[in-house]
Amino acid sequence: MTLKTKNKFTIFAGIIANKYAMIERNLYMKQIRPFMNRPFIKVIAGIRRCGKSVVLQLIAEELERQGVAKEHIVYINFESFEWMDIADAKALYLYIKDKVKKTDGKTYILLDEIQEVKDWEKAVNSFMVDWDVDVYVTGSNSRLLSSELSTYLAGRYVSFHIMPLSFNEYLLFHGINPDSKEVLREEFQKYLRMGGFPAVHTGSYSYEAIYKLVYDIYSSVILRDTVQRHGIRNVELLERVVRFVFDHIGNRLNAKNIADYFKSQQRRVDINTVYNYLDALQGAFIIQRVPRYDIKGKEQLQTNEKYFVSDLSLVYAVMGYKDRMISGALENIVYWEMKRRGYDTFIGKQDNREVDFVGIRKDEKIYVQVTYRMESDATVEREFAPLLAISDHYPKYVVSMDNVWQDNIEGVRHRHIADFLTDENW
């Protein structure tokens, strides 16, 4: 088993290195490095196929650069049939115990898709108590990022949310260093259509092929991380809820809206069922609920939230690409970019006006309005007025896809979305 495992790790490392050598995902490595060789379990979570395994490999490579011998690194991918016998905490504990006995000094344990192991938290907690280890786990369910972990791991963990490729990562992945705004904006158009799942960027695929690949990811997430994990029986209704949410990206939405819609279609649906389905979809990282924030009152509100999807290609794979969805799609991209940069992000309420996003990061704030184009004076008024009404001096932006309209108004800046996403200074 030892030699087999060692060979498996070498093969894994080679495949990943060859496939994704162009991108280091430094955004996440910068977050993780300070906790390496520290007594915390590193919990790395995100939707399936977003690149968690690559981050795990980057961690292994970082450890080797620090002088850790390969035989001190234990890697298990629980999606592999090879590890099907390690199905519960006891089996995992006994296997790792055997590995630890055979090494002198610290053992580094990398466990990929850990949610496949029943009660894994108990085993991992025991690792930290019983041995000199440094533990990293990945998983495809948000429970790995939730406060529920505190019950088992008692303050012993730190969590990281891995997302599909950002626009900046897309450029790095393809080796693009745009030397003109024209090139940058052309590439953004491609990114808007392709989405950020790394797999679709490993070859030259048509949009049709990309959406087929992404639909297979979506089906896996729905089946394994939603239906099976939550014991959902009415899969057809779940799919209808998904389609409704996808069709309303960027619009105010809640469980009651969805239940009322089904009622209008002569189909009675219990509102608690809708809540449960939305929670399950959020738990699988398919969607993300974004609450509202009262800018004047400086408090979070509980009504009229929005939902965004973890990657736009999921919408296109399920619904097809539709130009009419462009405004919501742009909002979706800006929302996740703000989250990547560490902002707690909300829908803003300013009296009777709405600000698309309020981002809060420690003592910093940023306000962002997102629109497709400044097509008329009425559009300019609609997008700038809510920001102009805010009296503080934090940065305020209107973001669009305009190539010509470039005015700033009384300190509120207008940016093309491609320029905004690649600007490090906000």
DSSP 95-141: HHHHHHHTSSS-EEEEEESGGGSBTHHHHHHHHHHHS-EEEEEEESS
pLDDT digits (tens, 9 = 90+) for 221-275: 999 999 999 999 999 999 999 999 999 999 999 999 999 999 999 998 999 999 9
* The predicted structure's pLDDT at residue 6: 40
pLDDT digits (tens, 9 = 90+) for 410-421: 999 999 999 999
* The predicted structure's pLDDT at residue 7: 41
Angle, CA of 199, 205 and 207, to the nearest 5°: 100
The residue with tokens 């998983």 is 139
* The predicted structure's pLDDT at residue 108: 98
* The predicted structure's pLDDT at residue 148: 64
Name the pLDDT band for 147 (thresholds 50, 70, 90): low
* The predicted structure's pLDDT at residue 3: 38
Q: What is the 3-state secondary structure (H, E, C) of 143-159?
A: HHHCCCHHHHHCCCEEE
CA distances from 372 to 24, 170, 172, 416 (A): 32, 21, 26, 10
H/E stretch holding 203 reads none
* The predicted structure's pLDDT at residue 16: 39
Whether pLDDT at 311 is above 90 = yes
Whether pLDDT at 304 is above 70 = yes
Asked whether the beta carbons of 370 and 399 are under 8 A apart, the reply is yes
- Looking only at the bridges linking them, the beta strands covering 157-161 and 133-139 are unpaired
Percent of the chain with pLDDT over 70: 94
pLDDT digits (tens, 9 = 90+) for 34-46: 999 999 999 999 9
Pick from 107, 92, 128, 114: which is nearest to 43 by CA? 114
Whether pLDDT at 1 is above 70 = no
Whether pLDDT at 406 is above 90 = no
What percent of the chain is helix, strand and coil (3-state, nearest 5)? 50, 20, 30
Neighbour count for residue 72 (Cβ, 10 Å): 20
Neighbour count for residue 290 (Cβ, 10 Å): 17
Whether pLDDT at 8 is above 70 = no
Give the mean model confidence (pLDDT) for residues 103-110.
Answer: 95
Neighbour count for residue 306 (Cβ, 10 Å): 24
* The predicted structure's pLDDT at residue 303: 80
* The predicted structure's pLDDT at residue 51: 96
Give the Cα separation of 402 and 374 in Å (integer).
7
Asked whether the beta carbons of 126 and 97 are under 8 A apart, the reply is no
Mean pLDDT over each residue of the chain, to the nearest integer: 92
Q: Torsion angle of alpha carbons 80, 314, 318, 249, nearest 10°?
A: 150
The residue with tokens 């959020």 is 282
H/E stretch holding 185 reads helix 181-194
Asked whether the beta carbons of 62 and 35 are under 8 A apart, the reply is no
Give the Cα separation of 156 and 150 in Å (integer).
8
pLDDT digits (tens, 9 = 90+) for 203-215: 999 999 999 999 9
The radius of gyration of the chain from alpha carbons, rounded to an integer in Å, stands at: 23
Asked whether the beta carbons of 90 and 115 are under 8 A apart, the reply is no
* The predicted structure's pLDDT at residue 17: 39
Give the Cα separation of 51 and 292 in Å (integer).
30
Asked whether the beta carbons of 207 and 193 are under 8 A apart, the reply is yes
Pick from 48, 60, 46: which is nearest to 16 by CA? 60
Write the burial class of residue 140 (CB in 10 Å: 0-12 exposed, 13-18 middle, 19+ buried).
Answer: buried
Whether pLDDT at 9 is above 60 = no
The residue with tokens 């290609």 is 313
For the chain, the farthest-separated pair of C-alpha atoms sits apart, in whole angstroms, at 72
Spell out the residues 6+ positions from residue 254 whose beta carbon is closer than 8 angstroms to its own.
303, 304, 305
- Helix, strand counts (H, E) of the chain: 17, 12
Pick from 364, 373, 378, 377: which is nearest to 398 by CA? 373
* The predicted structure's pLDDT at residue 24: 85
Give the Cα separation of 260 and 250 in Å (integer).
19
Write the burial class of residue 157 (CB in 10 Å: 0-12 exposed, 13-18 middle, 19+ buried).
Answer: buried
Give the mean model confidence (pLDDT) for residues 152-166.
Answer: 92
Give the Cα separation of 172 and 141 in Å (integer).
27
Query: Which pTM does this prediction carry?
Result: 0.92
Pick from 316, 306, 315, 386: which is nearest to 351 by CA? 386
Whether pLDDT at 11 is above 50 = no
The residue with tokens 């209808």 is 240
